[in-house]
Amino acid sequence: MSADSDSQTIAGRLAEVRDDIAAAAKSAGRDPESVKLVAVSKTHPAEAVEEAIAAGQRVFGENRVQEAQSKFPDLKERYPDIELHIIGPLQSNKVKDAVAIADCIQSVDRAKIAKAIAKEMEEQGRTLKLLIQVNTGEEPQKAGIPPAEVAEFVEMCRAELGLEIAGLMCIPPLDEEPAMHFALLEKLAGQLDLPELSMGMSGDYEKAVQFGATYVRVGTAIFGARDYT
């Protein structure tokens, strides 16, 4: 068995996920190149990220700024072409660091954070790609803009803050069929003419590709189970 078909290694699992994405894209009549894989490395050490880099992976996702700071400045120095996406809820006091370290923030979820990001991008002279997190399930405990308010929020970001919004992101409720949430996000992005759609995780990325995902965020299927102890 070649290393690339070995599901015991990060390289092998990455190859499997890439194959699955390509197959799902093809069967949906999409160009496999139109789907970008975000390897979610939260809780995993920098060595695991390096294994993925060695296997050709370039885009990574972290949901905590502090954890990202413990791994990525050094990795980015050694591998300047890697991209870091922040995919978790941001606190105001972390925006400065997030803007300094990340290339994309997928979790813009309220006006206060959008304003802080605009201010920091201006001050640091950096331009990050920005996606708005949509609370498609309208779950009270979950971050994100309610679907009915997304249009107004995007317009506020553009008109008042001068931010370019690249797309939308969602995390469907755990106990619901994700397809309806993917379909809703696709519809909203279409109405607002936003090109990027970030949806789908280890359990449902193939389905997300069917519904038009341009980013899938996959952690466990690449790096293995997370240990929070």
Nearest CB to ligand PLP, comparing residues 181 and 217: 217
The CB-of-29 to ligand PLP minimum distance in angstroms stands at 25
Q: Supply the minimum distance, in Å, between the C-beta of residue 151 and ligand PLP.
A: 23
CA angle 159, 162, 165 (to 5 degrees): 90
Nearer of residues 53 and 131 to ligand PLP, judged by Cβ: 131
Nearest CB to ligand PLP, comparing residues 88 and 147: 88
List, in sequence order, every beta strand (DSSP E) within 101-212. 104-108, 129-134, 167-170, 196-198
- What totals of helices (H) and strands (E) does the chain contain, helices first? 9, 8
- Distance (Å, whole) CA 146 – CA 133: 9
Nearest residue (CB) to ligand PLP, 198 versus 210:
198
**What is the distance between the alpha carbons of residues 134 and 144, in angstroms, rounded to a whole number?**
4
Tokens encoding 73: 């400045």
CB of 68 to ligand PLP, least distance (A): 12
Q: Which residues bind ligand PLP (CB under 6 A)?
A: 40, 42, 63, 87-88, 171, 201-202, 217-221
Residue nearest to ligand PLP (CB): 219
Q: How far is the CB of 6 from ligand PLP (least distance, A)?
A: 20
The answer to whether the CB of 186 falls within 8 A of the CB of 197 is: yes
